Amino acid sequence: MRIDLHTHSNKSDGTDTPTELIQNAIKANLDVVALTDHDSISGWDEAAQAAEGQIELIKGVEMSAEFKGVSIHLVGYNIDPNNADLLAEFEQLLNERDNRAPQIIKNLNNIGIEITPADVARQSTNAVAAGRPHIADALVELGVVSNRKEAFDLYLAEGMPGYVDRYSTEIFRALELIANAGGKSVIAHPWSKSSIDVVTPETLRQFVAAGLNGIEADHNDHSPAQRAELKAIAKELGVAYTGSSDYHGTGKIEFGLGCNLTEPDQFELLFSS
Ligand code: AMP
Ligand code: ZN
Ligand code: FE
Ligand code: FE
């Protein structure tokens, strides 16, 4: 069984349509793939149609959360798509992302980069909101940088001249919203550079006490030693550990579908109860 529990389509900041994503998941010999766009479930229906009878689709979302002012990504699976509280929260997250884009563009203009809202809009035509990756793509198109990573490293990451903070859901509220919508929650790449300092083992214990169902361990942001430690923590806390590609199409190099997989027993543990 090849199970990949974290991928993005161009409804957020991936480059495949949901249909292309499913086709590529089949080509990558996956048996199970989860679609987890940022703060949006708008790709679910198209993905489900493409997946029908071919591959098992898990419907998910990667929520923009925060803990102690640090960005935390929380994946929610199998949430009720009609849960009003969760839908309202997604709407706020997407609006705030959209509202931030002009401010980032202005910051870039201020340091002499001639980028316009139209340049960004061309990159986010299928997306539900314009995020930093779309601004990065516009910078690539303008020839300012050669890829998304360079755009983040030079201009868009925290501390860089284009950076503008935006609203994220407080983590304990996000955990509650997902649980109340009948979903399972998994903390995504907890030991990415940006969050490793605040997501201590004790913090993970608090998250589990507040309803967290799993910890993403096998992810390209984690070293082999970190993966092993996160799996040990998950076991100790009695929750699942997962493995995922965090595929973004051509938007993220070396994050190909199936590059990390979730073990079948962990999949079972996450979804059985
Ligand atoms: P936003 O939510 O609009 O602030 O954009 C953040 C998203 O950009 C993250 O969730 C990642 O998908 C993506 N991202 C962050 N850093 C990088 C990077 N260095 N290279 C490519 N994509 C990135
Ligand atoms: Zn993304
Ligand atoms: Fe993420
Ligand atoms: Fe992701």
pLDDT digits (tens, 9 = 90+) for 209-268: 999 999 999 999 999 999 999 999 999 999 999 999 999 999 888 999 999 999 999 999
Q: What is the mean pLDDT of residues 118-132?
A: 97
Q: Whose CA is nearest to atom 19 of ligand 1?
A: 149
Q: Which ligand 1 atom sits closest to the C-alpha of 134? A: 3
CB contact at 8 A, 67 and 43: no
pLDDT-based confidence at 144, cuts 50/70/90?
Answer: very high
Using the mean position of ligand 1's atoms as its centre, give its distance from the Cα of residue 176 in Å: 25
pLDDT in tens, 48-100: 999 999 999 999 999 999 999 999 999 999 999 999 999 999 999 999 999 99
Task: Look at residue 273 and tell me whether its pLDDT is greater than 80.
Answer: no
Distance CA 103, CA 162 (A): 8
**Which ligand number lies closest to the CA of residue 13?**
2
Q: Which residues line ligand 1 (CB under 6 A)?
A: 13, 38, 64, 97, 131-133, 148-149, 152, 252
Using the mean position of ligand 3's atoms as its centre, give its distance from the Cα of residue 152 in Å: 14
pLDDT above 70 as % of the chain: 100
CB contact at 8 A, 97 and 133: no
Identify which of 123, 132, 187, 254 to mutate to test ligand 1's pocket (most ligand atoms within 8 A of the CB).
132
Q: Whose CA is nearest to atom 3 of ligand 1?
A: 131
Burial (0-12, 13-18, 19+ Cβ within 10 Å), 70: middle
Return the bridge partners of 170, or none.
66
Distance CA 180, CA 85 (A): 9
Using the mean position of ligand 4's atoms as its centre, give its distance from the Cα of residue 61 in Å: 9
Q: Whose CA is nearest to atom 18 of ligand 1?
A: 149
pLDDT in tens, 36-51: 999 999 999 999 999 9
